[in-house]
Amino acid sequence: MAGNHSISQFGRDEPFFLQVGRGQIQGHTHVHKYGFNGSVGTGDDTIWFQQGSYTLSSAAVKLKISSSSTDDDGSPVGSGALTVTVQGLDANYDEVEETVTMDGTTPVETTQTFLRTHRMFVATAGTGLTNAGVIYAADTGDAYTTPGVPDTATGIRSTIGAGEGQTLQAFYTVPAGYTAYLLQVAAGSVNGTNATTITLRTRAEGGAFRTKDKFIVFKDMITVGYPVPVAIAEKTDIEMKGDAAASTTDVAANFDLILVEN
């Protein structure tokens, strides 16, 4: 039986973004970042599963990966996450990735250092097919009073919610040697009492955060596209935050970038 073919194989045009997604445009990569915060409060909370405001690392360090559940164990094999992959940037803002074997609530240290942690995901799992507990990546040297849960919230770099299999964090840092072009952002809130303010902000290396765009959502989802993509320089931090005014609410947010090699 003949397989399906792309029209590009016959010398005809194909949409540019489909070609990017297929890896056919040299030096171009699509990045889709998405986050969720189930308790955005009255301050500017980062849109990530851990909740609260995210603290950026000041130096590249090894990460400690642990779970709140003993079922997330690769040896002996548990029913939850067996291995977890961490992706981010090293001290030079170059992309780095490492897969670690879980040891339940006992922290496992990475061999590589991370300045930024873009995402974590469950690479392999037991009979439960995903992570049983909350999985943390932390650079704090503090003790773990609750097994597997870092004591210092500001030292947590990424969190995978139980059963999610993937981090939910609407922040990203542009790797060295690339310019990011912002295509669109989207955000939504279920707050039925007050409107929620969503802020998109960026921070150049060594600089201060600046608001790049601001949106108001009220029991709906808003998508904002940029007809002329917004250029964001290498080593720039990008973050989405929410302020729920007088109450707390669930907030989801995402943004799309095209990375172009300089």
- Looking at the chain, the whole-number percentage of residues with pLDDT higher than 70 is 94
Asked if the model's pLDDT at residue 10 lies above 70, the reply is no
76-80, 88-92, 163-167, 232-236: segment of lowest average pLDDT: 76-80
Largest CA distance in the chain: 62
Residues 115 and 242 in one domain: no
Residue 155 covered by a domain: yes
Mean predicted confidence (pLDDT) in 73-89: 95
Query: What whole-number distance in Å separates Cα of residue 108 and Cα of residue 102?
Result: 7
Range 248-259 average pLDDT? 93
CATH of the domain at 30: 2.60.120.1330
Q: Smallest Cα–Cα separation from 201: which of 192, 211, 193?
A: 211
Quote the pLDDT of residue 181.
98
Mean pLDDT of 245-253: 84
Residue 1 — pLDDT band, cuts 50, 70, 90? very low
Res. 201: pLDDT tops 60: yes
Q: By CB neighbour count within 10 A (0-12 exposed, 13-18 middle, 19+ buried), where does 114 fall?
A: buried
Q: What whole-number distance in Å separates Cα of residue 163 and Cα of residue 167?
A: 11
Peptide bond before residue 227 is cis, with ω within 30 degrees of 0: no
One domain for residues 135 and 183: no
Query: Mean pLDDT, to the nearest integer, of 42-64?
Result: 92
Domain assignment present for 90: yes
Residue 12 has a pLDDT of: 65
Encoding tokens for residue 121?
């995901």
What would the pLDDT profile of 112-150 be if each residue is shown by its tens digit?
999 999 999 999 999 999 999 999 999 977 789 999 999
pLDDT above 90: residue 249: no
* Domain end (from 105, 136, 160): 160
Give, as one character, the DSSP assignment of residue 70. T
Q: Containing H/E element for 238? A: strand 237-243
219: left (phi over 0), alpha (psi -120 to 50) or beta: left
- Range of 7-16, 69-78, 84-93 with top mean pLDDT: 84-93
The secondary structure element, H or E, covering residue 20 is: helix 16-21
Identify the domain containing residue 225 by its residue range: 16-53+171-261
The 10s digit of each residue's pLDDT in 146-165 is 999 999 888 999 999 999 99
Strands 178-189 and 249-261: antiparallel
Average pLDDT over residues 59-71: 96
What is the phi-psi region of residue 164: left when phi exceeds 0, alpha when psi lies from -120 to 50, beta otherwise?
Answer: alpha
In a domain, 3, yes or no: no
Q: What's the sign of the alpha-carbon dihedral 139, 145, 148, 150?
A: negative
E strands within 3-107? 28-40, 45-46, 61-67, 81-89, 95-101
Task: Give, as one character, the DSSP assignment of residue 177.
Answer: T
For the cut 70, the answer to whether the pLDDT of residue 2 exceeds it is no
Same domain, 132 and 44: no
* Stated pTM of the model: 0.91
If DSSP states are collapsed to H, E and C, what string results for 202-226? EECCCCCEEEEEEEEECCCEEEEEE
Q: What is the pLDDT of residue 23?
A: 87
CA dihedral 138, 140, 143, 147 (to 10 degrees): -10
Residue 182 has pLDDT above 90, yes or no: yes
Count how many domains the chain has: 2
